[in-house]
Structures are given as C-alpha cells and as structure tokens.
A and B are shown apart, each in its own frame.
Chain A
Amino acid sequence: MNASWVAARPGVRRGWIELKHTFTTPSDLVTLLIFTGILLGVMLWTRTTTVPGTHFSLGTAMLASMLGMTVGFNGLATLGSILTVEREDGTLLRAKATPNGMTGYLIGKVVTVSGTILISVVATLITGALLFSGLAVGSASTWLTLIPVVLLGLLATLPIGAVLGSLFPSARSAGLLTLAMGGLAAISGIFYPITHLPHWLQWIGQMFPLYWLGLGTRSALLPANLASVEIGHSWRHLATFGVLSAWAVAGLLAAPILLRWMARRESGSSVAARREKVLRQVAG
C-alpha cells in the first residue's frame, strides 16, 4: 500500500472536521462574512454606475469578477498563511510525528480550503443572483464555463499557496502575503476593466492567475457583449486555460519538493525557537 493512499481517508476526514470547525466557530464565520459583506456593499453602491462604454451595471460585473477572486485569493493567501500559522503552533510537527501524518495533513488542508472556497463562491452567487440583475445564472453554458474555471483555479492556486506557505518564515511575514494579494487584485481587473490601466500594469496583471480567474468567471456570468471592455475584446478562453494550467503544473511540480523541505526542518526546537522569536517581537 502506498503511504499517500493510507493517508487519504484520514486526510479527507480531517478536512471535513476542520471545515465543520470553520463554520461552527463564530470568529471564523465573522471573518468570512465581513470580507464578503464589505465587497457586496461596494457592489450595491456601484450598482447604478455602468461599465464604461456599456449600459451594464458595474456592480454586477464586479460580482462576476469576485467569484474568480474568491478562488484565487483564498487559494493563494489562505492556504499559505494557514501553513505558516500551523508551523508555529506545532500542528505540522504533530503531523510529522504521526505515521503518514504529513500527507494526511496536506490532504486535509486542501479539502478544508477548497471546501471553504466552494461554499463562499456558492453563497456569493446566490446572494448576487437575488440582489443583482443581469447575471446569466439560468443558462447551461454558464455552468459549463464556471465549474471548469473554478476547479482549474483551485488547481492553479492551491499548490502555489502551499509553496508560499512553506517559503514564508513566520505567520507575521505571511501577513504581507495578504497585503500583496490585495495589491494584485487591484491590477487584475477585478474591480474595474483592466483595459483602463497603463499597459505595463496590464502585463504584470496578466502574469498572475488572479486576472485569468476573474476573466473566466466574468465570461461565464456576463453577457457576451461585455467582452468588448476586455483585452483584445475577447474572453480569451484558450489563453485562460493555458495560463491557469501552466500555474497548476508549476505549482504541482514545486509544492511537493518545498513541502518536503519544510517538513524536514520541523522539530521540537525549531517550533520552540520560532515561538520565542514571536514572543520577543511582541514584547519588543
């Protein structure tokens, strides 16, 4: 029997248990809701504004973008920061002390984070469909685009998130990750058409999966003529598939190597040393 196979069942169970914890811990739930709530508020505010050059509501367009962003943001930042936090509190070391524990732990994390993302996406979609008009939630082609985009998005971002989590030395420094993601969102055409940005920023935005995820979910939920405000006046499905796949391949190749490297460094004294450092920073 293969070690990862033995760990698959406890790993999935672990993910499921932690998913339940997230949705039964008030503070976790509030964090989730505040994030979504603020964005929904902004969208409602901009509901009457139109996407430049069209008669379409900017709020509705933003909501479609936001589904993609939810996948990208959480896939990259949430998984990454969980890894740094749980390295500090000893969860990873505990996994290392358990047979097949590390594999089980990672499977569990992927299940928890993907589960949280999927639930957020569905919740946002339902709220959006009720509050906003113009989303094409009724057609089959919407779902045939949306589901592959979300799944490919998970595949493109979760491994990279794990890579980032293993590289950042502390939970504090991982806070920068969330900040950087906010900046990236601003140049990824999530809140406003990317074509209104300077060319060089457009190029930077297009290098990262966030832009393509937003483009993908917009293409699924918005009317075809809205493609006119995108780069090349097209939804660029082939390019979306290509870029997201490239990120997925890169992540899946790098993640096992870096995670193994990270796991190897875990020991009781390394956990203790990190904790002392954190305490010193808090005190100083």
Chain B
Amino acid sequence: MSVLNWSGVLSPSAAWHVPEEPAENLVLDVRDLRMRYGRTDVLSGVSFGARRGEVLALLGPNGAGKTTTIEILEGFRMRSSGQVSVLGTDPARGGEAWRARIGVVLQSWRDHGKWRVRELLAHLGSYYAPYSGSGGHGGVVSSQGGSGVMGPPGRGGSRAPGVPRPWDVDELIATVGLTEQAGQRIRRLSGGQRRRLDVAIGIVGRPELLFLDEPTAGFDPEARREFHDLVHRLADREEATILLTTHDLDEAEKLADRILILAAGRIIADGSADELSRLMSTQAEVRWSRDGQRFVHSADEPTRFVRELFRQYGESVEDLEVRRASLEDTYMALVRQAESGGSGSGLGGGDAIRKFTVVAG
C-alpha cells in the first residue's frame, strides 16, 4: 500500500499543493483565504487544492465556515483576502462562461413549484447550450485546440473534444431516477425526489466542478446509496471535480478521495480517510477471547502484539478483532483539539496544518 509521512507544521502562508502538480492544473486552488465579518474572523487562512476528477469532502462543525468557503468558491460571496482560483478564474470576477462550467446544489430549494420536472430541466439546460464545447476539463483556459473553433461567448476557449452541453434531458432524468415523475409538478415531489431534482439541475450543464452542500440530508438509506453511485459515476465517467459538505462521516469516507476538516476558521486536516485515521492513533484496539473470557488491549504495534498473542496461546485464541480508530474518532479528536485552541498533544503540538505526502510503494 502506501506509506504516509507528514512533515511538521506548515505556516499558513505556505500553499497547499501536490508537489508534482503545477498550480495551474488545479481545478481549485485556495491560498490563505480569509473572511472577516466586522471583528469576527470566520475564515482565518484556509488553503487547499483539488485536481481534476477528485472528490473532496469538507467536514466541520456548524459555524466552522464551510458554507462561507463554498459560497466564496461559487462566486456568491466576496472574500476579505487571499488568493482563490476556481477553474483558472477568480470567482469574484467569473463571467457567464465560467458560470456555465460550474454546478451548484444548495441545502434546500423550494423554487419553481409550478413547473414540471422535465419542463424545468429542459429550460435550465437551454442556458448552457451556447457554451457547449467550451471550457474543457482541467480548469485551464487552454490554448490548445487551435483558434477560431466556433465562437461561444466569453472566455474559456474551445477545445477539440469539448464538453457537450447541456445534458440530454431524458437521459439526465433517468440518471437521477425521476423518469416516472418527469411530467409531475415539482411541488408534488417527495423530499427525496426533490433533492434528486436539485442534483439533476446542478449537473444539467455538465459541470466540470460541482458543489454539493449536504446533498443527502433527509435521504433514506436506499436513496443515499443511489446518490453515492451517482457521485462516483460523475467523478469517474464525467471526470467532474466534486466538493461536498456533509455531516455524515460514513458518507465522507465512502465518497471522498480526500477529506478536509474545517474548524475554527482553518483547515485542521487534509488527507484520505485512511490517512486521517492513522494520523490520530498509532494505537489500535485488539480484542480476543480465550477459554470463554474476553480480553481488550490497546497496542502500539498491533501486528507484533497479535503475533506474540498467538505464539503464547496458539489455538486457544478466538474471536480476534483488531480495530483502528474510526474516522469519527479522528474527527472528534481533531475538532475538539482545534476548538480548545489547538493545544492538544496527540498530534505533536500546535494548531498545525499538516501536509501529507503519499509515497506510492
């Protein structure tokens, strides 16, 4: 598998980036983002990035600044300071061509109640038609593909294969499982159906970057599973980059390539679910039973411990379980530490923004 090592404390001004990835290839590039309302700092130096096709989950307690961060990236809110690049453009200055390459699904909508499902999707899709073939994946305003190919309005440039926009309406409706409701008025949809419609609207323009704010709140387990499949499909087949917020850690673990934890206005952790779990505890819990008695032991080196266990007791060891800290344990510990002023000890001190380097091996 992979070996993880983290290198000490990064000062907030040092930018996040994957070493071999030039900054302009990042779909999202956020450096030292700050937001201040009056005298309150909501964001105090947020830095992260995302590559094409990556699924990022933004976790954090309520009031940590998740929504503010997303709204700044969506271009719906002005920031106080910091550098932000979304698909190669500053969202504060993003034009309509830039807007056409982004999808937004917010927490709750009640709009267009009188419209029918298919009618609304077809209508909203038509706004994207002038931008068909524009942009191109990767977030680079590219010079590839030559010049003079069609002339969609604004910048973005066209690229040889391009992105056909919008999504075919019936195909999209089938993708989100609303075929039976296609002719129904939107206000008659159930909560879960409405949410799936929201997702459909968010992706009708085939976005290269999709923002999902608590997408599965109120879903039943089956709808949640279907939604997860949809997100995987979008990321894999459409190569869409996805940034989602959620309170469901299980969901974050299932969906996200990388998890960002935002607390007290800064990113306190950035890595895969696996990396985060390892980060928090080098200890694992080992449980077993012997002669009908149950045992629990916390071991620094569980593998060595278990080997020793078998050497001593051999066949009589039963019901063996080795459990690493769950993402939830990690999350709780990190957030508690950040909220208490970042003086925790488990991480080796400091309110550190850590940099992970994953070395394939």
Contacts and interface: CB of A to CB of B under 8 A. Distances in A.
A280 to B, nearest CB: 16
A10 B205 CA distance: 15
B153 A6 contact: yes
A99 B76 contact: no
Contacts of A2: 153
A230 interface: no
Interface of A: 1-3, 6-7, 9-10, 13-14, 17-18, 21, 25, 86, 89-91, 93-94, 96-101, 104, 266-269, 271-272, 275
A272 B67 CA distance: 11
Given A7-B127, A98-B127, A267 B109 contact: no
Nearest to B70: A268
Contact of A94 (B112, B113, B119): B112
A266 B108 CA distance: 14
Contacts of B124: 94, 98, 101
23 contacts: A1-B153, A2-B153, A3-B153, A9-B126, A10-B127, A17-B119, A25-B114, A90-B108, A90-B110, A93-B111, A94-B111, A96-B76, A98-B128, A99-B96, A99-B99, A99-B130, A99-B205, A100-B127, A267-B71, A268-B70, A269-B68, A271-B106, A275-B108
A14 B67 contact: no
B131 interface: yes
Given A10-B127, A93-B106, A267-B71, A98 B111 contact: no
A112 to B, nearest CB: 11
Interface string B78-101: 000000000000000000110110
B77 interface: yes
A24 to B, nearest CB: 9
A89 B186 CA distance: 13
Contacts of B106: 90, 93, 268, 271
B76 to A, nearest CB: 4
Nearest to A11: B127
Contacts of A86: 111
A5 to B, nearest CB: 9
A94 B130 CA distance: 18
B107 A272 contact: yes
A26 to B, nearest CB: 11
A269 B111 CA distance: 15
A18 B114 CA distance: 8
A100 B77 contact: no
**Which of A1, A17, A98 neighbours the largest number of chain B CB atoms within 10 Å of its CB?**
A98
Contacts of B128: 98-99
B126 to A, nearest CB: 5
Interface residues of B, number: 36
Given A99-B205, A268-B76, A91 B111 contact: yes
Contacts of A97: 74, 99, 102, 104
A268 B110 CA distance: 12
A101 to B, nearest CB: 6
Interface of B: 67-68, 70-71, 74, 76-77, 96-97, 99-100, 102, 104, 106-115, 119, 123-124, 126-128, 130-131, 151, 153, 201, 205, 213
A197 to B, nearest CB: 41
A145 to B, nearest CB: 36
B96 A14 contact: no
Contacts of A25: 114
Contacts of B107: 268, 272
A104 B153 contact: no
Contacts of B74: 97, 267
A98 B106 CA distance: 13
Given A99-B97, A269-B67, A1 B130 contact: yes
Nearest to B114: A21
CB-CB nearest 8 A-B residue pairs: A267-B76, A91-B111, A99-B100, A268-B106, A99-B96, A1-B153, A97-B104, A99-B99
Given A93-B111, A99-B131, 7 more contacts: A6-B96, A7-B127, A9-B126, A17-B115, A90-B110, A98-B124, A268-B70
Given A99-B96, A99-B97, A267-B71, A90 B111 contact: yes
B293 to A, nearest CB: 54
B108 A99 contact: no
Contacts of B115: 17, 21
Nearest to A98: B127
Nearest to A91: B111
A101 B76 contact: no
B175 to A, nearest CB: 19
A266 B131 contact: no
B199 to A, nearest CB: 13
Contacts of A275: 108
Contacts of B205: 98-99
B96 A100 contact: yes
B35 to A, nearest CB: 12
A90 B109 contact: yes
